[in-house]
Amino acid sequence: MKGIIKAFLFLLYINITPIILNYNEYQNFMKNYLVKTLSGTICLLLFSFCTTTHLSANTKDCIEKRSSIDQDQVLQLMKKVADWQLANPTGKGLNTWDYAPFYIGLMQLYTISKDEKYLNAIVEMGDSVNWTPRARPYDANVYAITQVFYELYEIKEDKHIIDRSNFMLEMPLRRRLENDVTFDGNKYWWEWWSWCDSLFMAPPAYARAAAVLNNPEYLNFMTERWWDTSDYLYDKKEHLYFRDDRFFNKKSKNGSKIYWSRGNGWVIGGLTRVLDYMPKNHPERKKFEQQFIEMCTRLSAIQTEGGYWGQSLLDTKFYPQKESSGTAFFIHGMAWGVNNGLLPKDQFMPIIKKGWDFLTEAIHTDGTFGYVQEVGDSPTDVSFDDSESYGSGAFLLAATEIYKLINTKY
């Protein structure tokens, strides 16, 4: 608009000027005007070119700074989330499955930072529950906390830390009944690994105990039970898990199968932790790796533009709110896969970066990790203010692998 007004005024001026000035004066005026205008235009173009080049360089540098992150930044975020969770207990038992992912993540934070504060927090938790899993034998959920006990035992070498965990892990092995992984209508569903979450809770505990105690029986039992559950709940076409058999025929409002984000996140976390402890030459290892690669490849194709995954993985319009706990497990898994040479870096780094950006946005200024869906088994409403201890734990696991993945930037 300003350009149009200037052009109009200029035309008006050059038409009125001859009336005011004589012809010779008018010619001199136009000659001087055109020279000045042409010179000004050239100067303006040169200035514009130089400024644009300078701004482009600055913009590029700014983008690089925003898209890079160093290990210290990751570590500070981990401490921020961990410190808030430690200072704000949920009121649930510290040896429950809800808290287990947090203490598993806290152990990872200690491993990276070597800050005794976090190791002491784990010791205090263990002392407060007398190093005892919940009194519910055979339930996969109660084994989750034992993963931390076995890891701490490797540091402290105090058998008291794992005595009760050993007893709990032995019980299912001595009761060799036929495995029943049905869920719907099964009043003993919790005694078997009949829901996909269970694959994070129990299998890594058996894999860890097998390594710590040099007991291959634990590993054999774990692999047998894993594949029983997988054969039942894993959709080999979609390369995703149903949460349990109640969802075989359920559909979202938009007609899609319901594959729950955090449920599949639990499985991804279970796979990475089992593979962490499973010997490289174990006959079942390739099979676990194959399932891990299949799932991550499928998940890589359905990440949202916002960096998170929809609660219903194949229908992002079904409860479309942002959710962080499932996403954190996926980013943990993908970064772990790149770090361990199972996933191609060039293909997965953009996905990991986008997901990590979302996870950092979920952190409140005080360290609360938000957008965490409440305890459940399927998509529900969730908001920025929703937080749970297992969400903080999932973030710590994701951040651990991001920390390992980067040097100064990625």
Q: Which of 70, 72, 127, 197 is catalytic?
A: 197
Query: 47: how many CB neighbours lie within 10 A of its CB?
Result: 10
Nearest-angstrom CA–CA distance, 198 and 111: 25
- SS3 at position 257: strand
What's the half-sphere exposure (Cβ side, CA atoms, 13 Å) at 90? 21
Rg of the chain taking only CA atoms, in angstroms = 30
The alpha helices in 136-252, defined as continuous H runs, are 146-156, 163-174, 198-201, 203-213, 216-233
Nearest-angstrom CA–CA distance, 328 and 262: 9
Q: Which residues make Cβ contacts (< 8 Å) with residue 241, sequence separation at least 6?
A: 196, 230, 233, 234, 235, 259, 263, 264, 267
Q: Give me the sign of the Cα torsion angle 231, 233, 238, 239.
A: negative
In single-letter form, the type of residue at position 337 comes to: G
Question: Look-up: residue for tokens 């203010």?
Answer: 385
In single-letter form, the type of residue at position 336 comes to: W
61 labelled catalytic: no
Nearest-angstrom CA–CA distance, 389 and 387: 7
Contact, 321 vs 383, CB < 8 A?
yes
Q: Ramachandran region of residue 371, left (φ > 0), alpha (ψ -120 to 50) or beta?
A: left
Contact, 193 vs 229, CB < 8 A?
yes
Nearest-angstrom CA–CA distance, 85 and 395: 12
Containing 241, the helix (H) or strand (E) segment is: strand 240-241
DSSP 4-45: HHHHHHHHHHHHHHHHHS-HHHHHHHHHHHHHHHHHHHHHHH
Nearest-angstrom CA–CA distance, 321 and 299: 18
Containing 369, the helix (H) or strand (E) segment is: none
Q: Which residues make Cβ contacts (< 8 Å) with residue 100, sequence separation at least 6?
A: 144, 145, 147, 148, 201, 390, 393
Which residue numbers are catalytic? 197
